[in-house]
Chain A
Amino acid sequence: MGKNSLFSKKNKSLLTDPLDDNNPVTVQVLGICSALAITVQLKPAVVMALSVIFVMCVANVVVSLMRNFIPSRIRIIVQLVVIASLVIIVDEVLKAYVYDVSKELSVFVGLIITNCIIMGRLEAFALANSPWESFLDGLGNAFGYGWILIAVAFFRELLGAGTLYGYPVLEKLGVYELGYENNGMMILPPMALVTVGVIIWIQRMRNQKLIETN
């Protein structure tokens, strides 16, 4: 690192690139499985995002610290052990302190282990970079994943159930009296895919350089 300051231009881009130009969900199209599964409501989406932020940052830093000691033949196993241990700890903590959320997330917490974004960053970045850079990279990618998750959940909960974070927004605004009805389809998984698609569309409208040319 040496001459690079903690927030050099390069380091900043580690943090900001995954939010837009190199978003793991909308550009790399990774982690879609969980994006569909837990975005029916905001609350589990927020918890999932926070869990992934924690697991990703810590795993990136741990693997980066060990990068010179990890035997290359078992490096994938080591990465998985690091991720799996962290996920189990997250799961235990959720069960102890936010039991409802942990029930809601149920199998999806375990699925953090198989979230290809995390494995991908460990293999592609943390194994070759210093802990601080890996931390920023982890944070950036987890936020990139998290904000998409929360955005999708926002629209699905609002349009599907008329609530936000469990609070009946639309009822308070009185739109039901005007004949408005919730769109039950938003709650079903296919609409998550459509919502992600719409986000990708808007992103590419704004950010022309993402458009592939054949």
Chain B
Amino acid sequence: MDVNKNSYTFGFAAIMVIIVAALLSSAAIGLKPFQDRNIELEKKQNILSSVGIVTDRDGAEELYLTYIKQELVLNNKGEEVEGSTFDIDLAKEVKKEADAQVLPLFISEVDGKTMYIIPLRGKGLWGPIWGFISLEDDLNTVFGAVFDHKGETPGLGAEINQSFFQEPFRDKLIFNENNEFVSITVKKGGATEGSMHEVDGISGGTITSDGVTDMIKERVSRYIPYLEQNKAVENDSIIITNLISQVNG
């Protein structure tokens, strides 16, 4: 047999491709459930870490049930709608028209403090970035933020998933004194001293940093109707107590 004939070469290539395709697709399908499970646990882990609870992936499931008291789905008027909060795919939602989007919101209670967790999704330099930002019960003060990315530049933009970048978000405010939504800006060259609305950017990671700014602004702004409505409510301590007992009940 002449292995260097053209027909043989083509035949060999064709058969090889079919075998490899079958092999790889069966591996991908067979392992998918395990991979999805990991992704789900990681999401829970990230939600928890935005409210300051650090856990490994194995412990995430249990702690999630303990601390996340409520999962809401909102429309852009701030009204609750039906749906499974956890399964909302933000990647798809952000592409829709504003009034067609559904907005997931997680409410957690840690040491008697209620916190509101808003999932984020935006664009970095090379691909998607995402994260969670948690607000304290004044619906203004940031309690924590976590970010992650698909493929930002290692050592530069990729650093958004490090704690040195995430920690400064704590105690920043998303509304100014006049109660206008200003969001939080990741500032190139460093935050203005004493600013309640800025954090330090990452040198060399400006586009990713700007992506984080845009992401927070775009995503959190969608929740303004809900935040405004509930801010008024939060001042009423009786309703808070009711809410908490309702949540616990």
Contacts and interface: CB of A to CB of B under 8 A. Distances in A.
A70 B151 CA distance: 36
A125 B57 CA distance: 43
Contacts of A71: 3-4, 8-9, 12
Contacts of A95: 31, 34-35, 38
A95 B20 CA distance: 20
B24 A89 contact: yes
Contacts of A107: 151
Interface stretch (A21-29, A73-81, A194-202): A73-81
A143 to B, nearest CB: 26
A85 interface: yes
A96 B27 CA distance: 11
A88 B24 contact: yes
B27 A74 contact: no
Contact of B31 (A70, A72, A96): A96
A163 to B, nearest CB: 17
Interface in A75-110: 77-78, 81, 85, 88-89, 92-93, 95-97, 99-100, 106-107
B151 A99 contact: no
Contacts of A89: 23-24, 27
B38 A92 contact: no
B13 interface: yes
Interface string B3-28: 11000110011001100100110011
B35 A69 contact: no
Nearest to A78: B16
B218 interface: no
Contacts of B138: none
Interface of A is mostly: helix
Interface residues of A, number: 22
A100 B35 contact: no
B27 A73 contact: no
B56 to A, nearest CB: 9
Contacts of B109: none
A58 B99 CA distance: 54
Given A95-B38, A99-B42, A107-B151, A74 B24 contact: no
B138 to A, nearest CB: 35
A68 interface: yes
A77 B13 CA distance: 9
Interface string B56-86: 0100000000000000000000000000000
B35 A70 contact: no
B38 A68 contact: no
B57 A69 contact: no
Given A70-B3, A71-B4, A92-B28, A81 B34 contact: no
A156 B57 CA distance: 27
A77 B17 CA distance: 11
A100 B4 CA distance: 46
Contacts of B35: 92, 95-96, 99
A73 B4 contact: yes
B68 to A, nearest CB: 21
Contacts of A96: 31, 34-35, 38
A85 B23 contact: yes
A103 to B, nearest CB: 9
Contacts of B3: 68-72
A-B CB proximity, top 5 nearest: A96-B34, A99-B38, A71-B9, A96-B31, A95-B35
17 contacts: A68-B3, A69-B12, A70-B3, A71-B9, A71-B12, A73-B9, A74-B9, A77-B13, A78-B16, A81-B20, A85-B24, A89-B24, A92-B28, A92-B31, A92-B35, A95-B34, A99-B35
